[in-house]
Amino acid sequence: GRTIKMYLVDGTPNGVLTAEIMNWTGKVISCPRPKLAKLASRADAKRTGVYFLVGDDPDDPSRERIYIGETDDVFGRLAAHEKDERRDFWVRTVFVTSKDENLTKSHTLYLESRLIKIAREAGRATIDNATSPTKYLPESDVSDMEYFLSQVKLILPVLGFVFGGFKFEAQHAWSGRSVR
């Protein structure tokens, strides 16, 4: 078994929430777009991490559209996307950082590359990324990041993010759609 600890920051299921897995250095934070400003005061939102912008695909409302990115300052990047008309589709974001601040730019570039590949292969959503970067790490770092990625793949579906084909049945609280 595994324990996933979720904390409803706003005290509501449709607000900012954090999720952690016991004995894992990662931390996942989910936020609806209208509450993005609430992340401004969070230290963990200003760390290096990977993030997802998620919403309905304007070209095919039966599908989700996602954008996967990485940055050294998650909140700063999300604030920039908030103003970017090319990415106007998103209604919710989820990002992954490290509690111990040991996630580096090279690590997040690798994770971004792997997550884009996984999402494209799953074919469950329209991927808004124009490129599919390939980043290389030393063998030991690849092993660490593949473990980190396995935890991301475990926790995202629990939060209702299944665009990567991760196995979990949930219902999107913000859209009411059932997903498998």
pLDDT above 70: residue 115: yes
Residue 135's pLDDT band (boundaries 50, 70, 90)? Answer: confident
The per-residue pLDDT for range 21-66, each reduced to its tens digit, is: 999 999 999 999 999 999 999 999 999 999 999 999 999 988 999 9
pTM: 0.89
Mean pLDDT for all residues in the chain? 89
Q: What is the dihedral of CA 64, 161, 86, 81, to 10 degrees?
A: 160
The whole-number pLDDT of residue 177 equals: 44
Residue 171's pLDDT band (boundaries 50, 70, 90)? Answer: very low
The whole-number pLDDT of residue 178 equals: 42
Nearest-angstrom CA–CA distance, 134 and 122: 18
Contact between residue 29 and residue 49 where contact means Cβ atoms under 8 Å apart: no
